[in-house]
Amino acid sequence: MTKRFFPLAAAVAAVSLLALPADGLAGPELHLDVGRIEDSVVFDIDTFHPPKGRVRLDPIAPVSGNCVLDPSEACVGGPGIRKLLRFDVLVHNRGDEDLVVGDPKTLPDLFIFSECHGHHHFAQASTYELLDETGNLVAIGRKQGFCLEDTVPSGPQTQVGRRYDCSYQGLQVGYADLYPAELDCQWIDVTDLPAGDYTLHVVFNPAHLLEDDDLTNNEAFVPVDIDEATSAAPVVSRIRRPSHDAVVTAGSPLRVAWSASDDEAIATQEIWFSADDGETWEQIVGDLPGGERSYAWTIPAGVVTGEARIQVVARDEEVQRGALVSDAFHVRGATRGRRLAVR
């Protein structure tokens, strides 16, 4: 994965100094820092590639992208170039008692173990949503969970050391839990959304599973704008193979060939397959280099259809999409003793 992100040290240094215990509140009082979200919102362009082999993230600061495409995370729409809405989430404990969660291994109702990350996640810590101008939900963040811990002091009044971490989770009075924008999955994938005005909606502790004296300050609505692109989208002008009414045997190779261009440069390309005349699509590959014009793929052995189609998608550096769907072709079941060539 190639990516641009912000130094973690700068994110920590910018923690609010206003996190003093609120009067009249008893017990833990979790407070979502709305100003921190507003100040940190940024659009970013990243390119993701499936990792080769089994690679785990750094459990402390996962910014490598190795787990982003893992089925347990799936926090981008697929490999290749993507446009992401990134933002910090900062949660203070402004009450007069620590939030004590405990050892995740003993709390299976609250935590799930991430095989890719190699540690437990509190799976219902927050929700990230993007709403359009009419309030309709158009995109969600797929961050699977948080490690609730003392990340940074809330302000200079905090003189004690950290007490809670990922192995024994919680949030003590005078500390804040920080999820900076550069972390993997600390975003919403907005790759194919049109330009316009949107609202980022963040809710911490949405299911009220964490003890919290005041639930009215755990929600944020932050306006964001997706700007118009500054250049034309790529054009996929022709799919040469497979040709109209071509026949290929299930389990045999299919070579896809196409023509594509852009006024500047194509960043990555995608190949999609449909067995039902375009009703549903399955991505074959999503991170082909921009200069490729052919790709070999083996049709799955169980596919038999007379309504197969291929779709080629090209994206530029602004993540704009150009696409073309092939004519229908046929996939026959494997015949013992002979193979049918693609016409």
- State pLDDT tens for residues 54-63: 555 444 445 5
Question: Cα separations (Å) of 32 from 92, 202, 205?
Answer: 7, 9, 10
Write the pLDDT tens digit of every residue in 165-216.
Answer: 989 999 999 999 999 999 888 999 999 999 999 999 999 999 998 999 899 9
Q: Looking up tokens 């993007």, which residue turns up?
A: 130
DSSP 205: S
Lowest-pLDDT choice from 157-161, 196-200, 247-251: 157-161
Complete domains list, the chain, with CATH: 8-226 (2.60.40.10), 235-332 (2.60.40.10)
* pLDDT over threshold 60, residue 309: yes
Question: Pairing between strand 111-114 and 119-122?
Answer: antiparallel
* pLDDT over threshold 70, residue 157: yes
Quote the pLDDT of residue 61: 47
Helix (H) or strand (E) holding 35: helix 34-40
Mean pLDDT within 310-333: 96
Quote the pLDDT of residue 53: 60
Q: Looking up tokens 């935590």, which residue turns up?
A: 111
Is residue 141 within 8 A of residue 68, CB to CB? The reply is no
* pLDDT over threshold 90, residue 4: no
Quote the pLDDT of residue 74: 79
Lowest-pLDDT choice from 210-214, 216-220, 278-282: 210-214
Quote the pLDDT of residue 11: 37
CA–CA distance, 295 with 284 (Å, rounded to integer): 10
Q: What does pLDDT average to over the chain?
A: 86
Mean pLDDT within 251-260: 96
Lowest-pLDDT choice from 39-53, 227-241, 254-268: 39-53
Mean pLDDT within 298-322: 95
pLDDT bracket for residue 338 (50, 70, 90) = very low
Phi, psi torsion values for 191, nearest 5 degrees: -50, -50
Question: Pairing between strand 235-241 and 266-274?
Answer: unpaired
Quote the pLDDT of residue 62: 55
* pLDDT over threshold 70, residue 69: yes
pLDDT bracket for residue 108 (50, 70, 90) = confident
Model pTM greater than 0.75?
yes
Quote the pLDDT of residue 54: 55
Q: Is 318 helix (H, G, I), strand (E, B) or coil?
A: coil
Higher-scoring residue by pLDDT: 264, 114? 264
* pLDDT over threshold 60, residue 15: no
pLDDT bracket for residue 67 (50, 70, 90) = confident
Percent of the chain with pLDDT over 90: 67
Quote the pLDDT of residue 64: 60
**251-274: string of b/e by CB count within 10 Å (b at 16+)?**
ebebebbbebebeeebbbbbbbbb
* pLDDT over threshold 70, residue 21: no
pLDDT bracket for residue 113 (50, 70, 90) = confident
CA–CA distance, 38 with 72 (Å, rounded to integer): 29
* pLDDT over threshold 70, residue 241: yes
Quote the pLDDT of residue 156: 84
